[in-house]
Amino acid sequence: MSRWLSLAPLVVLAALAALFGLYALNHDPQVQPRALVGRPMPDLTLPALEDGQPVRLRELTAKGPVIVNFFASWCAPCEVEAPQLNALAAKGVRIVGIAYKDAPEKTQAFLARLGDPYVQRLTDRDGRAGVEFGTTGVPETYLVGRDGVILDKHTGPIEAADVEDLALRAR
């Protein structure tokens, strides 16, 4: 009897390995969660990067659609997408930047070095806003309509090919 009990952990481990293996075979890694698309953006108030004053995110859509971009100074893909964000801003697109889990002084240095395309810069030091939006990492970008409804989500760096389409949709 004790011999069978000593094999029990190995049997449980083999069963778990089989279960995870079957899940991995049937799971599409290209699927990006888009749970909030078509729903109102979270009603959050975040501190402004410059002075820490609270800014209600939903009020930023009053003048029209905005792009909400989660970024960080420690994020290499965020550096890659910086020229595209600057190109969008040059086309008159309003972009709100949310510095995700980043120190304000590092965020300011990042923007000074790569350009600042944002009409409003907010901080999310603890990552709460990222959780509310359902971000899976940075950079992550949301197109939000005038009514505060999330129209689209882009995971990863925005590429040059995305700029025209986003500029048209954000007007």
Task: Supply φ then ψ for residue 135, to 5 degrees.
Answer: -65, 145
- pTM for the whole thing? 0.80
pLDDT value at residue 18: 73
Q: Domain residue spans in the chain?
A: 45-169
Q: What is the pLDDT of residues 32-80, one digit of tens each?
A: 566 789 999 999 999 999 999 999 999 999 999 999 999 999 999 999 9
* Average pLDDT value over all residues in the chain: 89
- Does the N-terminal peptide bond of residue 139 adopt cis geometry, omega within 30 degrees of 0? yes
* CATH architecture, domain defined by 45-169: 3-Layer(aba) Sandwich (3.40)
Mean pLDDT of 141-169: 93
Residue 15 has pLDDT above 90, yes or no: no
Residue 141 has pLDDT above 80, yes or no: yes
C-alpha to C-alpha distance for 65 and 42, rounded to whole angstroms? 15
pLDDT value at residue 33: 60
SS3 56: strand
Mean pLDDT of 16-42: 70
What share of the chain has pLDDT > 90, as a percent?
Answer: 72
C-alpha to C-alpha distance for 120 and 124, rounded to whole angstroms? 13
CA distances from 103 to 21, 65, 137 (A): 39, 28, 17
Q: What is the DSSP letter of 127?
A: S
- Of the pLDDT bands very low, low, confident and very high (cuts 50, 70, 90), residue 28 is low
Which residue type, as a one-letter code, is found at position 51? D
H helix or E strand, kind and range, residue 131? helix 128-133
More confident residue, 160 or 30: 160
Inter-axis angle of helices 76-90 and 160-169, to 10 degrees? 50
Residue 31 has pLDDT above 50, yes or no: no
